[in-house]
Amino acid sequence: MTGHDRDLEKELDATLQTRKELGSEYEAELVDSFLEKVERKVDGAVDQRMRRLAAEQQMSAARGGPAARDGDFGTFGERFGFAIVSLVLAIPLSAIGVVNAGLLGLVISWAGIVGVNVVQVTRTFPWQRGRERDAR
């Protein structure tokens, strides 16, 4: 999956056009349908990257290279997956915000996306894990 996915862009355009034609009474169903497609796309991309990272870690260990320290793989994978999911979901969230509240909706959507990512990053810094281990 690329950063700018043409298939999802076409799906979003089609969803917005369908909403214009059918009216707002079908909006919830259209949004749910689009979000299911986004979720499948994100899940596939994250699964593929996680498999690749696991294979690279196994190859490194088989070659006698430095093994990853306990928790390093999970932390990187968690951060990476979270970032991918939040950026991909930013597309429909932005569209929903703009359709329903205009520029203010877009700003609120992105403030939420940024806020969630800030919390995720500050929660998983490696030096914080070190302090938690020392406290035990």
Do 93 and 109 contact (CB within 8 A), yes or no?
A: yes
66 pLDDT higher than 60:
no
72 pLDDT higher than 50:
no
Q: Residue 1 has what pLDDT? A: 47
> Which of these, 67, 46, 49, 71, lies nearest to 58 by C-alpha position?
67
pLDDT tens digits for range 51-65:
888 888 888 777 765
> 104: pLDDT confidence band, cut at 50, 70 and 90?
very high
Q: What is the mean pLDDT of the chain?
A: 78
Measured between alpha carbons, how far is 19 from 135 in angstroms, rounded to an integer?
54
